[in-house]
Amino acid sequence: MKIDFREAKSIITKSNIPSIDYVINPYTGCQHGCIYCYAEFMIRFTNHKGDKWGQFLDIKQFDFNKIKPQKYNGKRLLLSSVTDPYIPLELKYENTRKILEKLVGTTAHISILTKSKFVVRDIDIFKKFDNLEVGISISTLDAEFAKIIERGASRPEERLEALKEIHENGIKTYTFISPLFPKITNYKAIMKKTKDYTDSYMFENLNFRPHNIPRIFKIIKEKYPKLLPIYENFRKDHSQWDMIESEIDAFCKNLNLEYKIEFHHGGFSKS
């Protein structure tokens, strides 16, 4: 992992994601190195030409005292959109924790989204906010498959244990079932496992992008060769997702769950 320290002009920036006003990305790059990651475009925008996603990390240098919590009152903040706020190196550099400490007092709605068990470290700070929720992103319960697609992230079971602990501490939680791999992601099994400690659900489809297509197809070919024609169909014809979307919709309505389906918008991190 190539580590660098770079001055950041701002650390809480305006967002293009629908229903999110500001995004907070404490780092550039991400140690989790997920094969489908939609944030890989950051390589071009951050002077990392030649670097591989998942193999570099810039620790943003910023005067955190500049963060004024009242500025964000009534707004919706997402932590994070193009990195994971609880990568292993957060334990050393603590940018996420420092930002949250400075935000205490805001009435903003803060949504934390992570694939890391280390999120539990900040339960004490989460409790200081009235309007904060913590979400765990999960695509599969299969630890072996998760290791292939999200090599640096916590094991699925560890993520769920973290979510449970957060919920037990009285903090609002959500499970973000993402990305949904056709015929692989068993969203019903994930929901069955998480329903007692999840306040709401979000769903996102697997977005095929030129940079991730070869990696996704290589893995499908190796692990699930029989699914290759199905994946070809999904890649070529986006309407294939409509059936899964209707299925999820009916399933959640039937169980009277709070949920949101984020299909067809091209990736939660960059819409």
Residues lying near ligand SF4 in the complex (CB under 6 A) are found at 30, 32-34, 37, 39, 82-84, 115, 150, 153
Minimal CA–CA distance to 147: which of 219, 197, 208? 219
Residue with tokens 């094991």: 155
In whole angstroms, how close is the CB of 151 to ligand SF4 at the nearest point?
9
Nearer to ligand SF4, 4 or 130 (CB): 4
Nearer to ligand SF4, 90 or 150 (CB): 150
In whole angstroms, how close is the CB of 75 to ligand SF4 at the nearest point?
22
In whole angstroms, how close is the CB of 90 to ligand SF4 at the nearest point?
12
CA 206 to CA 203: how far, in whole Å? 10
In whole angstroms, how close is the CB of 150 to ligand SF4 at the nearest point?
6
Nearer to ligand SF4, 106 or 269 (CB): 269
List C-alpha distances in Å: 189 to 24, 94, 194. 31, 34, 9
Nearer to ligand SF4, 44 or 226 (CB): 44
Nearer to ligand SF4, 33 or 156 (CB): 33
Pair of tokens at residue 261: 């389906």
Minimal CA–CA distance to 86: which of 72, 99, 73, 68? 99
In whole angstroms, how close is the CB of 249 to ligand SF4 at the nearest point?
24
Nearer to ligand SF4, 153 or 171 (CB): 153
In whole angstroms, how close is the CB of 190 to ligand SF4 at the nearest point?
17
Three-state DSSP state, 111: strand
List C-alpha distances in Å: 18 to 15, 102, 225. 8, 25, 36
CA 169 to CA 11: how far, in whole Å? 28
Cis peptide upstream of residue 80 (ω within 30 degrees of 0):
yes
CA 37 to CA 83: how far, in whole Å? 10
